[in-house]
Structure 1
Amino acid sequence: MATIHDDDERLLARIGYKQELRREFNKWSTVSYAISILGVLGSVPATFGVPLESGGPATVVWAWFTGSCMAMCIASSVAELVSAYPTAGGMYFVTKHVVPEEHVAVWAWIIGWCNFLGQAAGVASLAYTISQMILATAVMNSKFEDGEYSYTPNSLQTVLLAILVLCIFGTVCSLTTRNLHQTIMWFAPINILASISICVALLLLTPNKQSASWVFGHVTDGSGWGSRGFSFLLGFLSVAWVMTDYDGTTHMSEETHDAAVRGPVAIRAAILVSGIVGWMLNVTFCFCVTDIDEILASPTGLPAAQIFLNAGGRVGGTIMFFFVILVQVFTGCSAMLANARMAYAFARDEAFPFSSFWSSINKHTGTPVNAVWLVVIFCGCLNLIGIGSDQTIIAIFNVTAPALDISYIAVIVAHRVYEHRVKFIEGPYTMGRWSKPVNAIAVTWVVFISVVLFFPAKRPVTPENFNYAICVAGFIGLFSMTWWFVGARKKYTGPRTRDIIDMLPAEDPDDILAFSDTYSP
């Protein structure tokens, strides 16, 4: 009798990996995880000031709406590919099955590093923004005299608190898969219910709310580029930063029952729910911007914090902000979990120094704990940069969305370019005849918005407001390709799958071979 009993393990074996992680996630915890990794209640307040300052309230509202629609196209394209090959590597592993064999190594190397570094930048930025939010709450509750608060946080305090937050993420992500499943089940309900409650509270408590015509129709040129249209485009930074990491759910595939179906469903459901809830939050915040100059110049450092303070005072504002911070912690834990599983998958394929150590499974938890703390250490090092340079740390964070989205569309483009040369077995989720048009929209949008997001947000351009994200992206690209040509290409061969027979007793391979011949993943 074969040692692999259920279809999930048989599918993983057909793909070429042995089941090492425990499958404890069900459809509800998978959907909750997908929603929590976007975490709109935490991320929207953190980024609300960017589109408001660059293009006014209508930019906030319509940039989010447009960006959410485009995010659905990207997410649907990702879901279709990972449905066929549901592994902890996500889109990185799919690369092996969409490009010719002779090109797999270099493609997988580039996609893997873009994905890993993009996720790491996202995790680091989440810890940093949580630190900013906690300190903003401290500012809100400090003594207020002569129009100023008595407490002003400095860069060192922000960074040290961010590193502490990363350690909290790491502790949560080191739990067993069953404990993670039980914990994550609560992430999405708290996110959604708290979002609705805060919107109601703000609309009831805020005096002198703005008119609908101002919220939905007022666009400004806050960027100084001399064009309201271009200022509107710069407002996409918020939705691009929040609505990304679509393949985060797929990194949990080896811990999810029926991952080939539930993963894609969760990804699309998360975009739909998060798009609606995020739009509701943005519209509500815009109605509550009683004085745009006051909000943007808030001594708390976050315009959303000032909105909460204006509506609920210190007590009410702190309570509302507590739930924002809580949901942002949920998002950080979810993002680190995806990043750690990506690190585990990458190390499993010998892409890191000391790969065997980082890819090892802890015998007590049954999870890749070493990979979790690799991510904690790496993200902590990224945050240390914030002590010396605010602009550099912001630039690193701004790389998150382009790096992740480019890693997605590269695989999508490869799939279309090589589809006549490389056999691709479709999974349970497929868009059918809509696949190519949706792929085209996703690729076009990512290329377009990536160019926009690398522009300086303000003009005149100075060393203080220059968008150093393009420099960081260039350095990452140069470093990874130099590493490839110097030594990695001699050892790294891409995802290292094994023959399906090797994972079964030699005397009893019939069950799995029959399954392999008849099942389309």
Structure 2
Amino acid sequence: MASEQTDKSQHKDIQLISNNDGYIAPAKDIDTDSDEGLLENIGYQQEFKREFTRISTLSYAVAVQGVLGSVSATWSSPFIAGGPATAIWTWFTGGILAFCIALSVAELISSYPTAGGIYFVSKYVFPEDKVPMAAWLIGWSNILGQTAGVASVGYSVGQMLLALVAVGMSDGNGNLTYVPTAAHTVAVTICILVIQGLYCSLPSKYLSKSIQWFAPVNILGSIAICIVILVFTDNKLPAAEVFGHVQDTSGWNNAGFSFLIGYLCVAWSFTDYDATAHMSEEIQNAAISGPIAIIQSLLITWILGLLLSISYGFCSADPSSLSNSQFGNPVTQIYINAVGIKGAMALWIWVVLVQFFTGATAMLSDTRTVFALARDEMFPFSNILRKVIPLTGTPLYSVWTVVIVCCLLNLIALGSTQTINGIFGVTAPACDLSYIAVIIGRLYYDRQLPISKGPFSLGRFQKPINYIACTWVIFISVILFLPPTYPVTSENMNYAVVIVVAIVVFATAWWYIEAKKRYIGPRNEANMDNDPSMAAYT
């Protein structure tokens, strides 16, 4: 289905580069067999050092999914809605369907491996007259989804750290002596985001060397925790209960609907599929290493998530105590039930560490996306945001813009947890909808605009996989916008749909008011630098 044989001639057919005002031929022959040559052929100059090896790229992709932290943070949703069987079977089926999105994205970014990721591909799947608006909306959807994700992961790390403190300060009988406040959580979150910003400011060489350890910590930590809780939990549920009984505890009086709510964990864990693509300009042999890493990381995440879901299910013999745990997370209570307070703290440290890795790698992807969109003049002050600082070889202005925006978003939690949860809930649908917008464009205009094939190809399975991916995203987006419990109140209302509508209105209004006059979509750098209207804007 996918081939690692690089068809060099297929890359060489991109010899005419569109700037949406016509086509220009390269002034010289370009060596498209090299990463730098392929990038130049696409339309950009090499500005980063390619320090990411195949191993560090795979580790990066695994870290972005952060299965140990993601599942532990979100397992409560399927468990509370439908019990352990719901958590297991929604992960099993949802992971397979999510794999179709990953395959579709991997094939597209193999053809065009740039920091713009799926956003850049929009240039080649839509007709020339439709590219500007399509790329504008797709770019904003992708960047806002990523930024909300970075902010939410930072917030979850803050919550996890304070939960660890609360467990450590309990009186030994499970009674809390410290309850974190919203102000405490926000303060810790801002510190976490600043630390992650400092990390993302490092040169690619140091990022690559450190990131290669992220995946082993994630994998070994997940396996170790599964073994520990299964061995030390005395009162385990029978297998028939764990695998065969879907409960109806969401309040909707429908077991089928309670089961569907379980897909929230899948949607929140399997997302940001093109994060690896945003690092393409720092990856060696990016056209194949990036796509392969996406697929391998999804497979690892799916297997580990299934192991965790099964392990948590067997150790959830007292559902009421888990759902009403004063520690705020059923998984924390599972650890305490298995190994006591001190043992639970030791296990929880691994979860926090992995979640921190997820936030750091997600922020790294977000900063490269800001750089790529600024390179195409999408933002005010794009000429500043796109600068790569020679001292570090990284886009520091983009890095710290992301940090500041994420900190400001988290300040909202001081006034309204419902609003901040709504913003965080935008992550999965905003990113996923940006992916299928490009995939749908490719399917619809395929005969008119067949894209150049990269070394990773789905072959004859491309269209069926694309159709499944689009259907799954539309389905899961509906689930993501529904209130997870009933009766619906102002406290449990899902405000994500309101935020998404606001984003669409914002991006569309900006397009017609101002951007339509000057934004032409992903472009060729040679023309961009000589466009007087762009100089006036920046």
Task: Find the counterpart in structure 2 of residue 400 from structure 1.
Answer: 427
Task: Find the counterpart in structure 1 of residue 460 from structure 2.
Answer: 433
Task: Find the counterpart in structure 1 of residue 159 from structure 2.
Answer: 132
1:157-176 CA-partner distances (Å, limit 9, x unpaired): 11111111111110111000
Secondary structure of 2:374's match? Answer: helix
Deviation at 1:147, TM superposition (A): 6.0
Task: Find the counterpart in structure 2 of residue 246 from structure 1.
Answer: 273
1:105 pairs with one of 114, 132, 148:
132
1:292 pairs with one of 314, 319, 331:
319
Deviation at 1:473, TM superposition (A): 0.6
Task: Find the counterpart in structure 2 of residue 19 from structure 1.
Answer: 46
Check the 8 A contact 2:267/2:428 in 1, yes or no.
Answer: yes
Deviation at 1:423, TM superposition (A): 3.7
1:12-51 CA-partner distances (Å, limit 9, x unpaired): 0110000001101111011111111000011111001111
Provide the rounded CA distance (Å) in 1 between the counterparts of 2:129 and 2:491. 45
Provide the rounded CA distance (Å) in 2 between the counterparts of 1:244 and 1:143. 35
Check the 8 A contact 2:436/2:470 in 1, yes or no.
Answer: yes
Provide the rounded CA distance (Å) in 1 between the counterparts of 2:175 and 2:370. 45
Provide the rounded CA distance (Å) in 1 between the counterparts of 2:230 and 2:494. 35
Secondary structure of 2:486's match? Answer: coil
Q: Which structure 2 residues correspond to residues 45-124 of structure 1 after superposition, within 5 A?
A: 45-124=72-151
Check the 8 A contact 2:32/2:41 in 1, yes or no.
Answer: no
1:390 pairs with one of 413, 417, 420:
417
Deviation at 1:220, TM superposition (A): 1.3
Secondary structure of 2:521's match? Answer: coil
Provide the rounded CA distance (Å) in 2 between the counterparts of 1:356 and 1:270. 34
TM-score when normalising by structure 2: 0.91
Q: Which structure 2 residues correspond to residues 211-230 of structure 1 after superposition, within 5 A?
A: 211-230=238-257
Deviation at 1:265, TM superposition (A): 0.4
Q: Which structure 2 residues correspond to residues 71-470 of structure 1 after superposition, within 5 A?
A: 71-144=98-171, 148-470=175-497
Check the 8 A contact 1:140/1:309 in 2, yes or no.
Answer: no
Provide the rounded CA distance (Å) in 1 between the counterparts of 2:363 and 2:199. 10
Check the 8 A contact 1:53/1:222 in 2, yes or no.
Answer: yes
More off after superposition, 430-439 vs 490-499: 490-499
Matched, 1:477 2:504: yes
Provide the rounded CA distance (Å) in 2 between the counterparts of 1:148 and 1:258. 54
Deviation at 1:3, TM superposition (A): 9.7
Over the matched positions of the two proteins, sequence identity in percent amounts to 50
In structure 2, relative to structure 1, the CA distance for the partners of 1:493 and 1:269 (3 Å cut) is: same
Provide the rounded CA distance (Å) in 1 between the counterparts of 2:172 and 2:60. 43
Task: Find the counterpart in structure 2 of residue 514 from structure 1.
Answer: none
Deviation at 1:496, TM superposition (A): 2.1
1:248-290 CA-partner distances (Å, limit 9, x unpaired): 0000000001100011100000110110001101110111112
Check the 8 A contact 1:348/1:356 in 2, yes or no.
Answer: yes
Task: Find the counterpart in structure 2 of residue 519 from structure 1.
Answer: none
Check the 8 A contact 1:118/1:404 in 2, yes or no.
Answer: yes
Provide the rounded CA distance (Å) in 2 between the counterparts of 1:133 and 1:102. 48
Deviation at 1:499, TM superposition (A): 5.3
Supply the AA of the counterpart residue of 2:479: V
1:46-66 CA-partner distances (Å, limit 9, x unpaired): 001111001111110001011
Deviation at 1:2, TM superposition (A): 8.3
Deviation at 1:498, TM superposition (A): 3.4
1:419-470 CA-partner distances (Å, limit 9, x unpaired): 1222411111111110000000000011011011101111111111111111
More off after superposition, 309-318 vs 431-440: 309-318
Secondary structure of 2:129's match? Answer: helix
Check the 8 A contact 1:105/1:493 in 2, yes or no.
Answer: yes
Provide the rounded CA distance (Å) in 1 between the counterparts of 2:193 and 2:496. 22
Check the 8 A contact 1:348/1:359 in 2, yes or no.
Answer: yes
Secondary structure of 2:461's match? Answer: helix
Instruction: Indicate the RMSD between aligned Cα atoms, in angstroms.
Output: 1.6
Provide the rounded CA distance (Å) in 2 between the counterparts of 1:452 and 1:147. 35
Check the 8 A contact 2:248/2:254 in 1, yes or no.
Answer: yes
Check the 8 A contact 2:172/2:341 in 1, yes or no.
Answer: no
Provide the rounded CA distance (Å) in 2 between the counterparts of 1:78 and 1:354. 30
Deviation at 1:229, TM superposition (A): 0.4
Kindly report structure 1 stretches of 4+ aligned residues shifted beyond 6 Å: 1-6
1:268-320 CA-partner distances (Å, limit 9, x unpaired): 00110110001101110111112111011111111111111111112111110
Q: Which structure 2 residues correspond to residues 27-38 of structure 1 after superposition, within 5 A?
A: 27-38=54-65
Deviation at 1:207, TM superposition (A): 1.3
TM-score when normalising by structure 1: 0.94
Provide the rounded CA distance (Å) in 2 between the counterparts of 1:371 and 1:178. 19
Supply the AA of the counterpart residue of 1:397: F
Check the 8 A contact 1:395/1:467 in 2, yes or no.
Answer: yes
In structure 2, relative to structure 1, the CA distance for the partners of 1:246 and 1:453 (3 Å cut) is: same
Provide the rounded CA distance (Å) in 2 between the counterparts of 1:182 and 1:5. 27
Check the 8 A contact 2:98/2:472 in 1, yes or no.
Answer: no
Provide the rounded CA distance (Å) in 1 between the counterparts of 2:245 and 2:451. 48
Deviation at 1:224, TM superposition (A): 1.1
Task: Find the counterpart in structure 2 of residue 496 from structure 1.
Answer: 523
Task: Find the counterpart in structure 2 of residue 517 from structure 1.
Answer: none
Provide the rounded CA distance (Å) in 1 between the counterparts of 2:170 and 2:296. 44
Secondary structure of 1:282's match? Answer: helix
Task: Find the counterpart in structure 1 of residue 4 from structure 2.
Answer: none
